[in-house]
Structure 1
Amino acid sequence: MATAALKRITPDEYLARERHAEFRSEYLNGRILAMTGASLQHAEIVLNIGSTLRDRLRARGCRVFVNDVRVRIASVSGYVYPDVVALCGTPAVLDTRPPTLTNPHLVIEVLSGTTERYDRGEKFEAYRASEALAEYVLVDSRRVHVERYVRHGDFWVHSAATELDTTLELSSVGTALTLREIYADVQFDGGSEE
């Protein structure tokens, strides 16, 4: 989860800092954005999505990564840590420490009160410039609400779902998830289990 931005630096300065940092941070448009801890709901949703996708995609040679895989967004000199990343085929990786993935087909971000504006705005704008990315999914950690953006040429087509029995097609990796699978065992602040 991103927090307040610090002073502007170059991509090389960011990579040098990140190599020895105790805590992860993202880099976008010359700014470092420190990452903070996640809520229980956020962590559970990421685990639900990551484990379900991995089970479904593994036999087809697709890869699924959660939380700690850095992704480079080349056109805006960005380095980010998506909640879930998936791709089918060979991962393209930069020889940085830690390694940096450059060709995700699917990125899923789990929203919180502190990350929603960033994930919907500046970060999504940067992702849209990535040629490899075909699908961007936003999952709310505070209520049942999922939004999907799919690339169609120069345009992104949006859809949203709020019902647990809705199936979310993930065309970029050729599978689907139900919202019930995404929100399995998640208890929202009101204490109700979804």
Structure 2
Amino acid sequence: MEVLSPSTTNIDRFRKPDEYRRHPSLAYIPLVETRFPSAVLYRREGDAWAEESFEGLDAVIALPAIGAQLALADIYENVSFEPGRPIPTR
């Protein structure tokens, strides 16, 4: 799980996932935003990686390779967001 820091977001979004992809045992690389409920999941598909985006507290990330699900509501439990920014829902 990579938590995206506003001060290092470019490193967190681009450089770190490239480094993580080099580890053959990783099946998923989740990136989680701090300012609003949003996540990006990189999923290994053979030798390639697919990208999927999730927004809103009702979104759930399926992780079948490890038999798990990750609800954004659980990730962001007790987190306050920037005032005035709408929280996306599906």
Compute the TM-score of the two structures, normalised by the length of structure 2.
Answer: 0.84
CA distance in 2, matches of 1:188, 1:163: 12
CA distance in 2, matches of 1:116, 1:172: 27
Matched-pair identity in %: 36
The aligned residue for residue 109 of structure 1 is 2
For 2:67, which of 162, 166, 174 is the aligned residue? 174
Structure 1: which 5+ residue stretches go unaligned? 1-107
Greater relative contact order (Cα < 8 A, sep 6+) = 2
Deviation at 1:137, TM superposition (A): 0.2
Structure 2: which 5+ residue stretches go unaligned? none
What SS class does the counterpart of residue 42 from structure 2 fall into? Answer: strand
CA distance in 2, matches of 1:133, 1:176: 16
Aligned length: 86
The aligned residue for residue 19 of structure 2 is 126
Deviation at 1:191, TM superposition (A): 8.3
CA distance in 1, matches of 2:61, 2:5: 20
**Runs of 4+ more than 6 Å apart:** none
What SS class does the counterpart of residue 131 from structure 1 fall into? Answer: coil
Compute the TM-score of the two structures, normalised by the length of structure 1.
Answer: 0.41
Larger Rg: 1
